[in-house]
Amino acid sequence: MLRQQWKQRAVFLLIGALAALAVVFLTGADLSTSSQIGRYRMCCTPRGSFTEIYVIDTTNGMVKWLGSGDNAKPFQEIK
């Protein structure tokens, strides 16, 4: 009787662990074919009392400097 209870508990524990792993793997799944994660890199350099910020597009190597008025602009609109 005691052995059967332990077997049942072990089966429930295994089912729970597999369900938890399935949730973790499925929430991290990416179904898109063109992922743009990591496309842009930021570089900050101090110059005097100011900090200059550069954005690098890693797909084509284009580098743009971010000024004070470029905060909400897309990368294509920054000059």
Look at phi and psi of residue 38 and say left if phi exceeds 0, alpha if psi is from -120 to 50, else beta.
left
What is the tally of structural domains in the chain?
Answer: 2
Q: Would you say residue 78 lies in a domain? A: no
Q: Would you say residue 65 lies in a domain? A: yes
Look over the chain and give the mean of its residue pLDDT values, rounded to a whole number: 79
Q: Would you say residue 79 lies in a domain? A: no
Which residue is associated with the tokens 């008025």? 69
pTM for this entry: 0.42
pLDDT, tens digit (0-9, with 9 covering 90-100), for 52-74:
888 888 888 888 777 666 666 66
Q: Would you say residue 69 lies in a domain? A: yes
Query: CB neighbours of 65 closer than 8 A, spacing ≥ 6?
Result: 52, 53, 54, 78
Domain limits at 18? 1-31
Q: What is the pLDDT of residue 11?
A: 94
Q: What's the mean pLDDT in 14-20?
A: 95
Of 38, 69, 39, 37, nearest to 53 by C-alpha is 69
Q: What percent of the chain is modeled with pLDDT above 90?
A: 22
